Chains A and B, each alone.
Chain A
Amino acid sequence: MSATATSLPDATWKTEEVRVAGHPVRLRTSGRGEPLLLLHHDIGTPERLPFYDALAQHFTVHLPSHPGYDGSERPAWMRSVRDMAVLYQLLIAERGWETPSLLGLGFGGWMAAEMASMAPRGFRRLILVNAMGVKPARGEILDQALVSYIDYARAGFEDQSAFDRLFGADPPTPQLEQWDLNREMTFRIAWKPYMYNPTLPHLLSGVSTPALVVWGRRNRVVPLECGEAYARALPGARLAVMDGAGHCVEVEQPEALMRLVLDFVAGG
C-alpha cells in the first residue's frame, strides 16, 4: 500500500469466531490498552489498513466483520441497523469488555451511534467518522442502488489514487462479487428509510458519552450537514472537518485522522 503503511509499526492481528445470539461473528483483534470496537463501512473492509494498525498502538482494537459482510455468515433474520447494534452490544457483554470506546466508519458509524443511544453510560468514548444514520435536511445520502459497485466505492474517495492503491484501478471480479454480497446485506437492513433512522437524533440527545464527529469536507456519500447534525444532537460533541478528504478519510488521511483521535483521547 502507500508509504504510510511502512511508516507505521507492525501490528499482529488474530482472527476468531465468537458466537453471539447463536450467530458466528468473525472478530479480528490487535493491540494493547483500552478496548475499542471498530465498525467498518458498508462496502466491507480490507483485513488491515494502516489506520487500523495505528489504532492498535493505542487501543486493543476489536474489528468484527459485520455479519453478512466480507464472506461472514448472513443472519437471515436481521432486518435493521439497530439489530446489528444490539448484536454488538451482546458481543461486548459476551467478551466482558468494560466500557469500550466505539469508532464507526460510515455505515459502521451509524451502528456506533445506535449503540451509544442504547447504553448511554456504556461507552468510554464515541468517535463517528463520516457516519450514516441521520437524515440530511438539504442534501442526500448517495443511493448505492443507482450506481455500480466500483462507482460507489470510488465516490468514497476524494483522492482516486488512494482508491487505486487499495483496490486496484480496475478491481477484480471477486471483489465485485464481494461488494455485491455486501450491498445485498446493506439492502436487507437499511433499505427504507435509506441510510438513516428518523428517531436517532432524538435519542442521541440523551447520550452524554464524550463524542468526536469527524467529517471529510469533500464527502460525496454522506453530506457534511449530517456531521453537523450529529454534533448538534450529541451533547458536548466536537465536530472536526478534514479538508481535502472524502468519505474514506481513514484511507486517504490515516495520520491526520489518527492525530484527531489521539487529541480527543488526551482531552477526554
Chain B
Amino acid sequence: MHLMYFTEQPMSAYPAEEGRKRGATALMFSNKHFDPVAGSRLYNEYLEHYRLAEESGFDGIMLNEHHNAPFCMQAKCNVFASILAAMTKRVKIVLLGNPLPLADNPVRLAEELAMIDMVSRGRLVSGFVRGGGQEQLATGVNPAFNRERFEEAHELIVRAWTQEGPFRWEGTHYQHRVVNPWAVPLQKPHPRIWIPGVLSKETIIWAAKQRYPYIALSTAIDATKKIWELYDSVAAEAGYTGGPENRGYLQRCHVAETEEKAMANARQFMWMQGEFTGLAHPVWSSPSGYFSPSYRKAFVEYAVGRGANPRAAEFEDQIASQQIIAGTPRTVIPKLRRLLEETRPSILGFWCADGFVSNADTQTCIKLLGQEVLPAVREMGKTLGLWSPFEANAPISIAYAKGPTPVAA
C-alpha cells in the first residue's frame, strides 16, 4: 500500500460570519477577509505537519490547490511541492494535482515539475486535475473548453517530458513554436501520473484508458465500487486488468485519544459544507460547459436552488457511509478494513483534519495514525494483496505497458 498524508490547508482564520452572510466563500468572497498574519502562521504549521507525517511513517504527502477561497490556502501546489522536495527525504510528493486547463503555458508546468522531480531526487508523482468550476472563473479560463484543454495540456506535458526537443506544438488550445525545456524529469520515462476525481464519469474513463491510477476523493463506498466497475470495464477494453494498483482513495479520517474528541473534531470536516468547493455558490461552481452533459439537468436545477447539490451529504450520512471516519485507533481500524476489503485500493490518502481543528490535535492525529493505524493498514494491505503501483512495479501508463518500467535515472 501507499499511504499518504493530506490536508486541504484550510484558512480557518477568517470571519465565518461574513462568509455566511455572503452565502458563498469561494471566488467572490472578498480577500479583504484574508489575514496574512494568520496565513503565515498556518502555512508554517502545515509545513510542520508535513514534516511530522514523514517522521510518523507516511509514504507520501498529497498536495492540491484551489483559488480564491478560504477552504484551501494552497494556490499553487508546485510551490509546496518545491519546499517539500528539499525539506523531506523519503516521502513521495504526490500532486493531486495541477489543474491543467488553468495553464496557458503547459510547457512551463512541465519544467516546474521536472525541477521538483530532480530536487526531490525522483520522488514526484504528478497528478493532474481539471480544476473546480469556480477556478475557471478565478483564472479567466473558458469553462466550455475545460476538458479539451485538460487533454491537450496533458499530451503536451508528457511529450515535453519524453520527446527530445526542440519540437513544435500546433494544437487547438496551445501553440508553441519551440518546445525544448532544458529541465526534464529525473524519473524515466516520466514521473507517475495519478488522476483524482469525484463525480465525472468522463474523467474515470479517461484515466482508465491511459492506465493511470484514479484517486476517488472521499466518495461513499457504494459509489466508489461503481467507479471501479467502470474503470475495470474500460481497462478490459483497453487490454489490461484493473486492480488495486489502479485504485486510490482519499479518506477523511480523524483520530484522537477519545471517541468524543475525535467525533467533535471530525465535525470540522463539514466546515463550509465539507466540500472541496467550500461554501459553494452553485452558479460559480458549475459554469456552463464545465460539467458533464449527462448531469446538465441536475446542475441547472441546483443552480437555481431547485435541486440539492449533487455532491453534498449530511455529516451523519457521511459517518454512516464512512466518507468520514473518526475515533480512536482501535475503532477506526475496523472501518478502514471494511473500506479496503470492499473497494480494494492500494493508494490511500488520510485527510486528517479540516476547519478549526487545533494544531495540537492535528499533530496528535498524525502521530496516532503513524503509531497505530498505518502499521495495521499495511498488514491488511499485505493480507488483501493491495500492492501499490510502486510495489507492483506497475507500468506508468498504457503507452509504457510493454516498454521500460519506471526507474530513477
Binding site for B on A (CB under 8 A): 145-150, 173, 176-177, 179-181, 183-188, 191-192
Q: List 22 A-B contacts (CB under 8 A).
A: A145-B137, A145-B283, A149-B303, A149-B304, A150-B304, A173-B306, A177-B297, A177-B300, A180-B288, A181-B288, A183-B289, A184-B144, A185-B144, A186-B288, A187-B143, A187-B287, A187-B288, A188-B144, A188-B145, A188-B289, A191-B142, A191-B144
Complex: A3 Cα to B400 Cα, angstroms = 70
Determine if B150 is an interface residue (Cβ-Cβ < 8 Å). no
Complex: A187 Cα to B140 Cα, angstroms = 11
Main secondary structure of the interface of B (DSSP, over half): helix
Determine if B301 is an interface residue (Cβ-Cβ < 8 Å). yes
Partner of A147, one of B283, B296, B297: B283
Determine if B6 is an interface residue (Cβ-Cβ < 8 Å). no
Query: A148-B283, A150-B304 given as contacts; is B137 within 8 A of A183 (CB)?
Result: no
Top-10 shortest CB links A-B: A183-B288, A184-B289, A184-B288, A176-B300, A187-B144, A191-B142, A188-B144, A180-B300, A148-B283, A180-B288
Query: A146-B28, A177-B297 given as contacts; is B142 within 8 A of A192 (CB)?
Result: yes
Of all chain A residues, the one with the shortest Cβ separation from B303 is A148
Q: Kindly provide the distance from the CB of A246 to the nearest chain B CB, expressed in whole angstroms.
A: 20
Of all chain A residues, the one with the shortest Cβ separation from B306 is A173
Determine if B161 is an interface residue (Cβ-Cβ < 8 Å). no
Q: Is the CB of A173 within 8 A of B288?
A: no
Complex: A177 Cα to B300 Cα, angstroms = 6
Complex: A184 Cα to B292 Cα, angstroms = 12
Most buried by A among B143, B288, B304: B288
Q: Kindly provide the distance from the CB of A76 to the nearest chain B CB, expressed in whole angstroms.
A: 10
Most buried by A among B145, B282, B289, B306: B289
Contacts of B142 in A (CB 8 A): 187-188, 191-192
Query: A148-B304, A184-B288, A187-B144 given as contacts; is B283 within 8 A of A173 (CB)?
Result: no
Partner of A180, one of B145, B284, B296: B296
Complex: A181 Cα to B300 Cα, angstroms = 10
Contacts of B284 in A (CB 8 A): 145-146
Q: Kindly provide the distance from the CB of A163 to the nearest chain B CB, expressed in whole angstroms.
A: 14
Contacts of B306 in A (CB 8 A): 173
Complex: A181 Cα to B28 Cα, angstroms = 24
Complex: A187 Cα to B144 Cα, angstroms = 6
Contacts of B287 in A (CB 8 A): 145, 187
Complex: A119 Cα to B289 Cα, angstroms = 33
Complex: A68 Cα to B293 Cα, angstroms = 15
Complex: A89 Cα to B151 Cα, angstroms = 34
Contacts of A183 in B (CB 8 A): 288-289
Q: Is the CB of B300 within 8 A of A173?
A: yes
Q: Is the CB of B300 within 8 A of A187?
A: no
Contacts of B283 in A (CB 8 A): 145-148
Query: A146-B137, A146-B283, A147-B283 given as contacts; is B289 within 8 A of A173 (CB)?
Result: no
Contacts of A177 in B (CB 8 A): 296-297, 300
Q: Kindly provide the distance from the CB of B145 to the nearest chain A CB, expressed in whole angstroms.
A: 7
Complex: A216 Cα to B365 Cα, angstroms = 61
Of all chain A residues, the one with the shortest Cβ separation from B300 is A176
Contacts of A145 in B (CB 8 A): 137, 143, 283-284, 287-288
Q: Is the CB of B289 within 8 A of A187?
A: yes
Contacts of A148 in B (CB 8 A): 282-283, 303-304
